[in-house]
Amino acid sequence: MARHFQQSDFWVQFKCAHGWRHITHNDVSVLVRTFRAGPFSVSLAYIPMAPAPDFRVRTPTAGKDLAYIKQLAYFTEEIRFLLPKRTLCARYDLPLDFATVAERDGYNASVGDMAAVSRTDIRKSRVDVQPPDSVLLDITRSEEELLAAMKSKWRYNVRYAQKHGVTVRAVTADSPGFARDLDSFYALYQTTAARDGIGIHPLGYYRDLLERGAASGGTANVTLYVASHEGDDLAAIITLCAGEEAVYLYGCSGNEKRNLMPNYLVQWTAICDAKRFGCTVYDFYGIPPTDDPAHPMHGLYLFKTGWGGAEVHRPGSYDIPLSRWYALYAACERARAFWHKRVMKRLRGR
């Protein structure tokens, strides 16, 4: 079973350059974040997409599910002595794939019973670290087959952008003009953040990601794609190709010339390059769970599902508490999430 990119040495080292440190146990990377307030400090242990069970694509077997919950409890006890003294919890993003929301929700509903049977204090986190819903596109098919499998409007939009003079340049940290292109990407990202009410990292975060990709010796191809028309940069994305996995990490667009469909051509260019890099799957990485027109990110759902990929729904984040301070921390997380997702978005919408 291939390691998820979040368990790769490349990604772990990148995250450690931005506030995390890590330990390794049984070939699983555990990221540790410490929060300080004067002399007082607490830590969070985060295990993304691991430990992996022996049924990544699940079959609904109660015995296997229960064994996996026990596996998480055993792993937590094994790493406990390696963690800082005041670690609040071990937080897991479970690498279990479900084809439908109903199957995923059924699994989440059953965890409480399995926790009771196994005497494991495991709880669903109110805040998911990674987006639990995504679209995976099989790119082992030919470009012609990929074009035929996408929605006809998507295929039309790709060709429309090409026909009307939109071009896409692939940029790495070794490319001439890298600093200029990175600044252009960030300006577009700031526009997108203001338009959609999302948070973004400082510019240096994306620069470091691309520079580390260029220095990785080919183990991780990190590429910035910029779509432009007559000198105007219109849209951009950053992708990561590692092993057989390609991931669409970040995307943004401006407010000008949106009618030229630059988002479609920039995405198609990245998909074709991922094939040439030898990847077998392209992960669109993050969608709303259902086709709900009332969801504030419904447009993102439509865009990412139109390429012909398969939806995947994961359980999200689960916590195994390790400290009496965990309940207070969880309450603070819920309050923060409510403030940003409800209050701030309503204020921006006014």
pLDDT at 350 over 70: no
pLDDT at 308 over 80: yes
The amino acid at residue 302 is L
**294-303, long-range: CB within 8 Å, 24+ apart, which pairs?**
296/197, 296/345, 297/196, 303/263
The whole-angstrom separation of Cα 65 and Cα 55 is 9
- Give the rounded percent of residues in the chain with a pLDDT score beyond 70: 93
Q: Are the C-beta atoms of residues 131 and 6 closer than 8 Å to each other?
A: no
Mean pLDDT of the chain: 92
Q: What's the average model confidence in pLDDT over 52-75?
A: 78
The whole-angstrom separation of Cα 193 and Cα 267 is 19
pLDDT at 57 over 50: no
Question: The tokens 């105007």 sit on which residue?
Answer: 232
CA 148 to each of CA 55, 152, 275: distance values in angstroms, whole numbers, following the listed order:
31, 8, 16
Predicted local distance difference test score (pLDDT) of residue 39: 83
- Give the rounded percent of residues in the chain with a pLDDT score beyond 90: 84
Q: Are the C-beta atoms of residues 314 and 104 closer than 8 Å to each other?
A: yes
pLDDT digits (tens, 9 = 90+) for 175-230: 999 999 999 999 999 999 999 888 899 999 999 999 999 999 989 999 999 999 99
pLDDT band at 126, cuts 50/70/90?
confident
Q: What's the average model confidence in pLDDT over 332-337?
A: 81
pLDDT at 344 over 50: no
pLDDT digits (tens, 9 = 90+) for 246-283: 999 999 999 999 999 999 999 999 999 999 999 999 99
pLDDT at 56 over 60: no
Closest residue by Cα to residue 308 from 131, 100, 156, 135: 135
pLDDT band at 64, cuts 50/70/90?
confident
Predicted local distance difference test score (pLDDT) of residue 133: 97
Q: 3-state class of 47 per DSSP? A: strand
Closest residue by Cα to residue 96 from 88, 87, 104: 104
Residues pairing with 33 in the sheet: 44
The whole-angstrom separation of Cα 78 and Cα 282 is 34
Closest residue by Cα to residue 72 from 92, 54, 55, 58: 92
pLDDT digits (tens, 9 = 90+) for 11-24: 999 999 999 999 99
The whole-angstrom separation of Cα 76 and Cα 70 is 10
pLDDT at 336 over 90: no
pLDDT digits (tens, 9 = 90+) for 92-121: 999 999 999 999 999 999 999 999 999 999
Q: What's the average model confidence in pLDDT over 308-316?
A: 96
pLDDT at 339 over 70: no
pLDDT digits (tens, 9 = 90+) for 282-305: 999 999 999 999 998 999 999 999
Q: Are the C-beta atoms of residues 10 and 214 closer than 8 Å to each other?
A: no
Q: Are the C-beta atoms of residues 261 and 160 closer than 8 Å to each other?
A: yes
Other residues' Cβ atoms within 10 Å of the Cβ of residue 83 = 18
Mark 171-192 as b/e (b = at least 16 C-beta within 10 Å): bebebeebeebbebbbebbeeb
The whole-angstrom separation of Cα 19 and Cα 265 is 35
The whole-angstrom separation of Cα 231 and Cα 256 is 12
The model's pTM is: 0.92
Choice between 334 and 60, residue whose per-residue pLDDT is larger: 334
E-assigned strand segments in 94-148? 123-124, 133-138
